[in-house]
Amino acid sequence: MLDYIRRNSDSPFVKVILVVLSLTFVFFFGSSALFGDRTKVVANVNGEPIRDVELTQVVRNRVRQQQQFNPNLGDADIARIQQQALDEMIDRRLLLQAAQREGFVISDKEVRRSIMENPSFQDDAGKFDAELYAKLTGRTGAQGYERDVRESLLIQAVQDFIRRSARVSEGEVKEAFVEESSKREVDFIRVPTSLFKDAVVISDEEASAWAAENDNAITDRYDLDYDARYNLPKQVRARHILMKFEASDSDDIKAAVRAKMEAVLAEAKAGVDFEQLAKKYSEDGSASRGGDLGLFDDKRMVKPFTDAAFALGVGEVSGLVDTQYGLHIIKAEEIQEAEVKSLDTVKLDIARELMLDEKAPELALAHARTLLPVLTGGVEGEEADALLAENSLTVQSSGEFSKQDRRVPKLGTSKDALSAVFALSKVGDVTSEPVDIGNGYAVIKLTAATEVDMDAFEEKKEEIRGRLIRTKQVRAITAWRDQLKATATINVAGGV
């Protein structure tokens, strides 16, 4: 069909077809689709624009997909989806530019083969079905889909080239084998820092003196926590009742839902317990909680819902509220007004927190040192039990693990702890000092060690080599992408 149109572009019949196609394109995508230079540029990647029509179409599709699992998507959710989509479009543009700079080319034959081998376009016998292909490519048409396939193959080709650069030496394979095969088991006592925060007493005088000497640290903590703790937006705790209908439903169906909701509204306004009404009538996941939506700010819910909820006083019930999800009745349970806590008003509180961050670990370390004899055998029986019981601590066993596990089971991902374990030379050895595990300290005793059987190396080495190569390939692709982004000129329009 497209070949026919190209060969007969001067034909009156073909001109009529082109007009119809253009009007159809405008109907589905807006006139801006025909005049790309007039649409808004939302981002510019090395001088190449990404336009709002491209972004809007991607975002619309993703919102529809996510609404199948979460029908209550709010403005904040949609903003997050838009940001993710734009980030991915920028990444894709960078990859395409890199592929083109490096001279990668995808032939028409490769595009056709990729399409014809796609199971989505094959009939039950596994043969390419042209009618199914035309149907599934939908509004964008075959030409748009083929462009997307060509771009995806380009990106795949350049990434495959990067992957092929990954190499693994014999020494790396042997080192990985040793790390996997050398197993350890330990006993340990964990001493969390949190146990000692209540033991730290800080007077106003001490906090004031510390604050005077550490003004920069206090300001940095305030700035870090500002949005989460000190710049508090107005929030409403509300319950709601939702009855759903689809935009495509008939007027009769919508009228029946509205009539039912008006009857429920009358009950709510008459003082019938709202929680019970929600459990009885509401058609969303909050029904089991009596319609309770918890606290939310004005960014979380869709605008009509937010406007109605934020206009209520505590205990008030809204009228019927129309949203894309159906009809709601809302009751405000609690209102927390917006509040900004200035640095001056919280300065001493922050000083205390920072002092606790310093003093509690010191107490935890000191206490952990007293527990070393429990593992070395210097303190045993009831005396050891009493020492542990002071802070409800226990001796725990890790079970078997290797360096490749990158963690000591039950103790966490502390690199210091893992290194300390493999530095213990023989069973029964205990760390000479408590080990910093990030949120506290641990004393550790080696209870079992399985050494390496190098006779098994030949049998395992190809499996290990393959795994190491795959890891290196992923890292190579990630590093290459990061480099592309770091050296690119990327401008994003304000408000996007």
Domain ranges of the chain: 183-200+349-450, 234-337
Considering the chain, what is the average pLDDT of its residues?
87
Q: What is the pLDDT of residues 108-124, one digit of tens each?
A: 999 899 989 898 888 88
Residues 6+ positions from 425 with CB-CB distance below 8 Å:
none
Which ranges of 318-454 does DSSP label H, i.e. alpha helix?
Answer: 343-376, 381-389, 415-423
Backbone angles phi, psi at 461, to 5 degrees: -65, -35
Residue 141 confidence (pLDDT): 67
pLDDT mean over 279-306: 92
Instruction: Please say whether the beta carbons of 22 and 34 come within 8 A.
Output: yes
Residue 350 confidence (pLDDT): 94
Give me the residue label for tokens 């000129």.
Answer: 489
Q: What is the pLDDT of residues 195-251, one digit of tens each?
A: 998 888 889 899 999 999 999 999 999 999 998 899 999 999 999 999 998 878 888
Instruction: Please say whether the beta carbons of 445 and 375 come within 8 A.
Output: yes
d(Cα 346, Cα 344) in Å, to the nearest integer?
6
30 pLDDT more than 60: no
d(Cα 143, Cα 129) in Å, to the nearest integer?
17
Q: Which of 28-32, 79-83, 207-211, 260-264 has the lowest mean pLDDT?
A: 28-32
- For the domain bounded by 183-200+349-450, which CATH number is listed? 3.10.50
d(Cα 327, Cα 262) in Å, to the nearest integer?
10
Where residue 495 falls among pLDDT bands split at 50, 70, 90?
A: low
HEC profile for 208-251? Answer: HHHHHHCHHHHHHHHHHHHHHHHEECCEEEEEEEEEECCCCCCH
Which tokens go with 50?
């990404």
- What is the pTM for the complete model shown? 0.52
Instruction: Please say whether the beta carbons of 202 and 352 come within 8 A.
Output: yes
CATH code matching the domain that covers 234-337, chosen among 3.20.20.150, 3.10.50.40, 3.40.50.300, 3.30.450.20: 3.10.50.40
pLDDT mean over 293-316: 93
Q: What is the pLDDT of residues 331-368, one digit of tens each?
A: 999 999 999 999 999 999 999 999 998 899 999 999 99
Percent of all residues in the chain with a pLDDT value above 70, rounded to a whole number: 91
Residues 6+ positions from 290 with CB-CB distance below 8 Å:
239, 274, 275, 276, 278, 279
Residue 486 confidence (pLDDT): 92
Q: What is the pLDDT of residues 387-437, one digit of tens each?
A: 999 999 999 999 999 888 889 999 989 999 999 999 998 999 999 999 999
Chain-centroid distance, C-alpha 452: 39
The residue count of the chain comes to 496
d(Cα 403, Cα 175) in Å, to the nearest integer?
11
Same CATH fold, 234-337 and 183-200+349-450? yes
Exposed (0-12), middle (13-18) or buried (19+): which is 212, by Cβ within 10 Å?
A: exposed
Residue 469 confidence (pLDDT): 92
pLDDT mean over 250-274: 94
Which tokens go with 303?
């605008």
CA-atom Rg of the chain in angstroms: 32
Residue 451 confidence (pLDDT): 78
pLDDT mean over 466-472: 91
Give me the residue label for tokens 């092929």.
Answer: 164
460 pLDDT more than 70: yes
